[in-house]
Amino acid sequence: MLNILKYCSTKNKEVNDLLLPMINASNIEDVKIELSKIELLDKNVRKALSRSILIRHLDTGSCNAEEAELLALSNPIYDVTRFGIDFTASPRHADVLTVSGPVTRHLKIAMEKTYNAMPSPKIVIALGDGACNGSIYENTYACLGKIDNFLPVNIYIPGNPPTPIQILKGLLLCKYLLNKK
């Protein structure tokens, strides 16, 4: 867990000052002492980190590279479940909809039905270059374009594919945004 904190540094000096001693700690007792300082974090940040979110992923025509990186979040290196983030098959249980790939003609209706089945408040993430800008397939006969032409997108995570760290940062941002809604 401490290794992931090295990658999730922020521009907030207070948060970084709190995390650095935990990253450099040599034994578990030092970490316990540093974790007791969690109350020094902003109230809104603590509240956002205390909730869990469920993600429904939808591939609307990607090359599957985004899905491979999304699956990597479940391996022991990233282990997103420790942050209270998990995946669900049902949109009725989901807080976040991640969409990868440009919208194809055949999946446009399925995407809209999935979005409409989600309870409010909901967040939509455009994952990868295909979802963010339509990629090179935007003007082909089978593709209708980028995701925000059809759904209100809250977070864009560009890349072909985006790294698991970039995706994790976006998902942690979702927790903060859902806390504000």
Bridge partners of 125, per DSSP, are: 98, 155
Q: Can you tell me the distance from the alpha carbon of 156 to that of 55, in angstroms, rounded to the nearest whole number?
A: 15
Give the residue-averaged pLDDT of 75-83.
87
* 106: Cα separation from own chain's centroid: 25
Q: How confident is the model at residue 9 (pLDDT cuts 50, 70, 90)?
A: very low
Question: 61: closest CA among 123, 108, 14?
Answer: 108
Catalogue the E-assigned strands of the chain: 53-59, 85-87, 96-100, 103-104, 123-127, 143-145, 155-157
> pLDDT grade, residue 127 (50/70/90)?
very high
* pTM for this predicted structure: 0.74
The CATH fold assigned to 52-180 is Rossmann fold (3.40.50)
d(CA 44, CA 175): 11
Place 32 in a pLDDT band, splitting at 50, 70 and 90: low
- Ordered by start, the domain boundaries in the chain are 2-41, 52-180
